Amino acid sequence: MGGSIAYEMSLVALGITEYAVISGSHLWDVLAGIVLVNESGATSLMQNLGNSYKSDTGVWSKFENVVDPWESGVTKVSDLRGGVSPLLLTQSGIATTVASNIQSRQNPIKKIAKSIFSQNIIWT
């Protein structure tokens, strides 16, 4: 989809949309929506740090904490201002299926450049 994150999350919570993948968001964009999704019986998964989208259910884990772990005197409010890892919101019965089939889209220009420059061409 595209557009309002809150709108997409509410569509999943209402069961109108079966799933949504949300990336490039901040905590203030998604926290209320995660509550709505979870309370509706749907599932909220967060991409584990350091992983890219790929067909692997181990890449995703249940969204449980805003900050892991909050350490008094160490964790700062400014730590909350960073972006949130991508989220996968699904109707509960399909979370594993969707998570195992997600793949990132490759920029078509990068794909063409890679195919051109990866060939061993000898110019004479």
User: Quick one: pLDDT at residue 11?
Assistant: 94
Largest CA distance in the chain: 67
Q: What is the pLDDT along the chain (124 residues), one digit of tens a residue?
A: 556 898 999 999 999 999 999 888 888 888 889 999 999 999 999 888 654 555 455 688 888 776 667 788 888 888 778 778 888 999 888 888 888 888 766 677 877 777 777 665 555 5
Supply the pTM of this predicted model.
0.70
| 35: in domain | yes
What total of structural domains would you count in the chain?
1
Give the helix/strand (H/E) hosting 87.
strand 87-90
25 phi, psi to nearest 5 deg: -110, 170
Tokens 């890449």 label which residue?
A: 59
User: Quick one: pLDDT at residue 90?
Assistant: 93
Which residue from 61, 110, 106, 68 is spatially nearest to 87, judged by alpha carbons? 61
| 69: in domain | yes
* CATH number of the domain that residue 64 is part of: 3.40.190
H helices present in 21-107, as ranges? 27-39, 95-101
Which residue from 47, 13, 15 is spatially nearest to 33, judged by alpha carbons? 13
| 122: in domain | no
User: Quick one: pLDDT at residue 123?
Assistant: 56
| 63: in domain | yes
Structural domain range at position 42: 5-117
